[in-house]
Amino acid sequence: MEQTPLLRIRELTRHFAVGGRVVKAVDGISFDVRRGETLALVGESGCGKTTTGRLLVRLAEPDGGSIAFDGTEITAAKADTLRAYRRRMQLIFQDPGSSFNPRMTVGALVSEPMHLAGLKRAEQAARVAELLPLVGLSADYAARYPHEFSGGQRQRIGIARALALRPDFIVCDEPVSALDVSVQAQVVNLLTGLQHQFGLTYLFISHDLRVVRHVAARVAVMYLGRIVELASKQDLYRSPRHPYTRALLSAVPSHRPGMTRRRMDAIGEIASADAVPSGCRFHTRCVHAQARCREEDPALRELAPGHVAACHLAESLPS
Amino acid sequence: MAEDIATSHASQELALAEAPMDARTLLSVRDLTVEFQTGQGRFEAVHRIGFDVAKGQVLGVVGESGSGKSVTALALMRLLPDHAARISGGRVVFDGSDIVPMREAEMCRIRGRRIGMIFQDPTTSLNPIFTIGHQLREGLRAHLGLGRTAANRRAEELLSLVRLPSVRAALDKYPHELSGGMRQRVMIAMALACEPQLLIADEPTTALDVTTQAQILELLRDLQQQMGMAIMLITHDLGVVAEFADAVQVMYAGRIVERAPVSRLFANPAHPYTQGLLHSMPALDEEDPAVLPAIPGMVASPFAMPDGCPFHPRCALASDVCRAAVPPLNPIAPAHSAACWHVEAVMAA
């Protein structure tokens, strides 16, 4: 029998009203996050991936749909119930520097979630002394201030803070995008190491398809508030079935000198989420689009075991 | 210390001697040093760097924060912030004249006309309260002395050149009404308005999504070939360099640590930093090792530069000589130089 997934997301929706228009940031998405896996969520700016992450840890309220965490529906949970789950779900941000209070010491920053959870001072201090070395920082840094640290070190502080309450699930929102190339690999290694050590489950939000290929077990591709393809990493990178996924993959600069031949599946830029095109929302950029694509919104279909994509033409795309 | 500088200086000249200055050289930088004065003290953001850009060549400049790559670009344009930074030594010879001692009035005839520039974030260089058409026409009238009708026609031509859809409509739009990719196309149109001989592009696609980045790079490449201009492309992204540049120089802590033709650099990196960067990037089409081979540590603070090679605290090959003396940028193969005391060991690895 298959285990219940750690998270079960169904028809999750979040719309924002902006200046009289409705921005469909997240527009009916469904997926599971399996225990101990890294599910990557990729897509370009404005696709809704960050909003999705915030909805999952309940930092944003959904308009519709459901989130079940460890078998329990938490979408409509009251504050008390939610508090117990909050401890088990954490978020790591792209730029931890901007989310830190500059007047708090590193120790206070890492302690804060424990303080809010009502842990005793001594327990907090002991845990800080344990956490800092765990993320590759000296325990002495507890007395120092975040501005004294580099971007990579600040991200390590953010990770220590996220780990403070021993969560099961962490949303990593572009955790290495703001870091220098030479430091990115260090933080990627830290995150994968911690995952093995503590059996963590990650939702890894990123636009960097190289990093995603390294960390993820499965990958979901988002476009204008919808998941357009979801598959195991191997399937997605080897045989992408949605034209948008194909466009994303062929746009990544290779490390082989000389201009690569691009398979042109996409033109132009992402449409605005307040003016979602009719039919398939990708049709305005798709070189394969036909009349049907402009009228009929394609549903996610299983094209191979565990490989779903939302494209009418998935079977007939040129390889 | 003085001796180190002398040797480093001599061999930098030696490395450049392979490609002697000839009629094809458009830009020739020698011993350029840029000094910053801050509240915390004084430091050199760029230390005695030298390089050439040939006419029509695309030179990639790779480095991370603090490497001095953007400061180099600003120095070449003489756009360093007056109150905090100055060129404290060296020459920047553009098409035969040294721009370092030039008066500002003279520099104005080069900047924007013969050397164009595009930046990472086009929103900072576009005025939000004027239409795209207004800003383009203004530049054309000021730089080229065009009349109203001619400027208008040229503005339309330029926007078509950068493949902006519906050019007429775009002229009447304000910057915020365009997407990031469209704004970058407008910036490119502005930079190309006077058909510069050299375009300095500082992280031109970093703020863009990957599918947009691919389109902008393709556009830049087509325009470069069409117009025969040279491009100095500054980026942290080795993939962008691989696709776009003819030659690359890698900067670290204010110095050039390696320079090579692009295919050579990717096939035979000779500096441990270059090699580390290439190895630490996850692959797109093959399995990586479970633990990525990361470069340990981080770039030293400019106020606490280590003695000797600035990379030695992060380098697995570091030895006594690395801790004692800065390695010169030595030629190791035709058009390939590296600043490392252990080049043979690096290349054997």
Residue of B209, B252, B266 to mutate when probing chain A, most A C-beta within 10 A = B209
Which of A182, A200, A190, A92 lies closest to A132 in space, CA to CA? A190
Residue with tokens 């800003």: B135
A263 band by pLDDT with thresholds 50, 70 and 90: low
Partner B contacted by A253 (CB < 8 A): yes
Of B142 and B277, the structure prediction assigns the larger pLDDT to: B277
Cβ-nearest to B292 among A185, A253, A266: A185
Distance from C-alpha of B25 to C-alpha of A233, rounded to nearest angstrom = 47
pLDDT digits 0-9 by tens, A150-178 = 899 999 999 999 999 999 999 999 999 98
The pLDDT of residue A253 is above 50: yes
Average pLDDT, chain A: 92
* Model confidence at B13: pLDDT above 80: no
Percent of chain A scoring above 90 in pLDDT: 75
Residue A260 confidence (pLDDT): 60
B234 CA to chain A: closest CA distance, Å? Answer: 14
A66 contact B CB<8A: no
Q: Is the pLDDT of residue B230 over 70?
A: yes
Nearest to B282 among A211, A269, A270 (CB): A211
- With CB atoms and an 8 Å threshold, state whether B243 touches A180: no
Confidence (pLDDT) at B22: 65
Residue B212 has pLDDT above 70, yes or no: yes
At what angle are helices A181-198 and A151-163 packed, to 10 degrees?
20
Residues A156 and A136: beta-carbon distance below 8 Å: yes
Is the CB of A19 inside 8 Å of chain B's CB atoms?
A: no
The helix (H) or strand (E) run that includes residue B53 is strand B41-54
Tens of pLDDT along A5-31? 999 999 999 999 888 889 999 999 999
Cβ–Cβ contact B315 with A under 8 A: no
In angstroms, the CA B164 to CA B189 distance is 10
Is-above-0.80 flag for pTM? yes
Q: Kindly report the number of other CB atoms within 10 A of residue A108's CB atom.
A: 17
Could you tell me if B211 lies within 8 Å of chain A, comparing CB atoms? yes
| Sheet-wide strand order for B198-202 | B115-118, B198-202, B230-235, B58-62, B247-252, B255-261, B336-338, B330-333
Q: Which residues between 179 and 238 in chain A have a beta carbon less than 8 angstroms from any beta carbon of chain B?
A: 180-186, 188-189, 192-193, 207, 209-211, 213-214, 237
Which chain B residues are closer than 8 Å to A185 by Cβ? 280-282, 292-295
Q: Which of A57-66, A88-97, A146-155, A286-295 has the lowest mean pLDDT?
A: A88-97
Residue spans of the domains in chain B: they are 2-114+194-284+291-348, 123-193
What's the CATH code, domain B2-114+194-284+291-348?
3.40.50.300
Please report the pLDDT score of residue A2 as a whole number.
63
Whether chain B has a CB inside 8 Å of the CB on A269: the answer is: yes
Question: What chain B residue is nearest to A191 in terms of C-alpha separation?
Answer: B291
Q: Does A258 touch chain B (CB under 8 A)?
A: yes
- Residues of chain A with Cβ-Cβ distance to B295 below 8 Å are 182-183, 185-186
Q: With 60 as the cut, is the pLDDT of residue B11 above it?
A: no
Per domain, the residue ranges of chain A are 7-88+167-309, 96-166
pLDDT at A67: 96
Looking at every residue in chain B, the average pLDDT score rounds to: 89
Nearest CA distance, A183 vs chain B (angstrom): 7
**Rounded Cα distance, B180 and A62, in Å:** 29
One CATH from 3.40.190.10, 3.40.50.300, 1.10.1660.10, 3.40.50.740 for A7-88+167-309: 3.40.50.300
Distance separating alpha carbons of residues A93 and A177, to the nearest angstrom: 10
- Between CA A270 and CA B212 the distance in angstroms is 9
Nearest residue on chain B to A259, judged by CA atoms?
B243
Nearest CA in chain A to B287: A214
A95 — contact with chain B (CB < 8 Å)?
Answer: no
**Does A257 touch chain B if contact means CB atoms closer than 8 Å?**
yes
pLDDT of B27 strictly over 50: yes
pLDDT at B167: 87
| pLDDT band at B229; cut points 50, 70, 90 | very high
CB atoms within 10 A of CB A199: 10
Q: How confident is the model at residue B163 (pLDDT cuts 50, 70, 90)?
A: confident
* A6 neighbors A69 (Cβ within 8 angstroms): yes
Chain A 45-64, CB below 8 Å of chain B: which residues? Answer: 45
**B141/chain A closest Cα distance in angstroms:** 31
In chain A, residues with a C-beta closer than 8 Å to the C-beta of B276 are 182
Name the residue of chain B whose CA is nearest to A193's CA: B291
- B303-322 per-residue burial string, b: 16 or more CB within 10 A, e: under 16: eebeebbbbbbbbebbeeeb
> What Rg, from alpha-carbon coordinates, does chain B have?
21
Instruction: Tell me the chain A residues in contact with residue B165 when contact means C-beta distances shorter than 8 Å.
Output: 268
pLDDT in tens, B289-299: 889 999 999 88
A148 touches chain B (CB under 8 A): no
Q: Cβ–Cβ of A209/B284 closer than 8 Å?
A: yes
User: First CA to last CA across chain B, in angstroms?
Assistant: 30
Of the ranges A96-105, A155-164, B158-167, B289-298, the best mean pLDDT one = A155-164
This model of the complex carries an ipTM of 0.89
pLDDT of residue B283: 87
Of A182, A188, A192, the CB nearest to B276: A182
pLDDT band at A218 (very low <50, low <70, confident <90, very high): very high
Q: Which candidate from A151, A180, A189 shows the least CB-CB separation from B292?
A: A189
Token digits for B100? 């370092």
Is the pLDDT at A106 greater than 50? The verdict is: yes
